[in-house]
Amino acid sequence: MRYLLLIYTPESDVQPPADEAAAEFAAYEAFGREVAERGAFVAGEALHPTSSATTVRVRDDEILATDGPFAETKEALGGFYLVEARDLDEAIELAARIPGAKRGSVEVRPIWQLPSGEMGGPGADAAAGRVVGAG
């Protein structure tokens, strides 16, 4: 089963010392190698800070785009891994090995998979630009 491991850590305007940043980068590289060697890696990316975010809403068919994140929080989504795990226990074990879990949190979310094998869930057709019921 596929799981999305969402990495939340405190954001700071202050850059960490070079040696700390290098150590964390090396820890993420080691984690990525381990997950790939186990055959569990599907995808993963780091995100720019929330200051670069744009939040989009549609109200009364009008698109409203706002600079910045949706909500003010102490921790921000900093990246993710999409992994293939045997079960939730294995996904939790992988999440606990992510370096960001030591100073933030990692949310483990199962990916909704339709019986046909297509990815999706409620609203997935609309999100992918497909017209529901069209054939």
| Distance, C-alpha 104 to centroid of its chain | 14
Closest by CA to 113, choosing from 122, 123, 124, 121, is: 121
pTM of the prediction?
A: 0.79
Q: With cut-offs at 50, 70 and 90, classify the pLDDT of residue 123.
A: low
Work out the angle at residue 106's Cα, subtended by the Cα atoms of residues 28 and 129, and round it to the nearest 5 degrees: 95
What percentage of the chain has pLDDT greater than the value 70?
83
Could you read off the pLDDT of 56-103 as tens digits, one per residue?
999 999 999 998 776 667 789 999 999 999 999 999 999 999 999 999
